[in-house]
Amino acid sequence: MILVAADAAYVRDEVVAALAGDYEILTVTGGREIRNAVMEHNVHMAVIDMQMGSMGGIAATMDLRLEESGGRIGHVPVLLLLDRRADVFLARRAGAEGFLIKPISPLKLRRAVAALLEDGEYEDTAHTPSPVVAT
């Protein structure tokens, strides 16, 4: 089961549309609901929008990692949906195994989910700065 957490209906709809048919999906509308959903359901991974009202994706990911380190839940890979490239640092520090820069590409989303379900990582290279070449 894949948990999709986003307070914006269009984000939830895009993720569900891209993954429906291949995966069982559970949706929640806020970060505060994520921990309970993980504890109550057999969640294999979470797709979490960074921008949510009272508890955003970074805080929700950190909450999952703290619960995991305390032995209260098992490991749940997290794919964060980021608004900008600058948020990659925060996603990594929070312990997310993957991230995508919005707008969401259904193809990239499916690749990222497959990678995380195989105990891997996924890094969206969109908007990656070009290396500086000395002349």
Give the tens place of pLDDT for each residue, 77-117.
Answer: 999 999 998 899 999 999 999 999 999 999 999 999 999 99
> What is the CATH number assigned to the segment(s) 2-123?
3.40.50.2300
Spatial distance between the Cα atoms of 33 and 27, rounded to a whole number of angstroms: 10
Residue range 3-28: mean pLDDT, rounded? 95
Q: Which of 24-38, 50-64, 119-133 has the lowest mean pLDDT?
A: 119-133
Residue type, 28: V
First-residue to last-residue Cα distance in the chain: 51
* φ and ψ of 2, to 5 deg: -110, 125
19 pLDDT higher than 80: yes
Residue type at position 37 = A
- Peptide bond preceding 131: is omega within 30 degrees of 0, i.e. cis? no
- State the pLDDT confidence band at 126, using cuts at 50, 70 and 90: confident
In the block, tokens 């109550």 appear at: 40
State pTM to two decimals.
Answer: 0.91
Give strand pairing partners of 70.
none
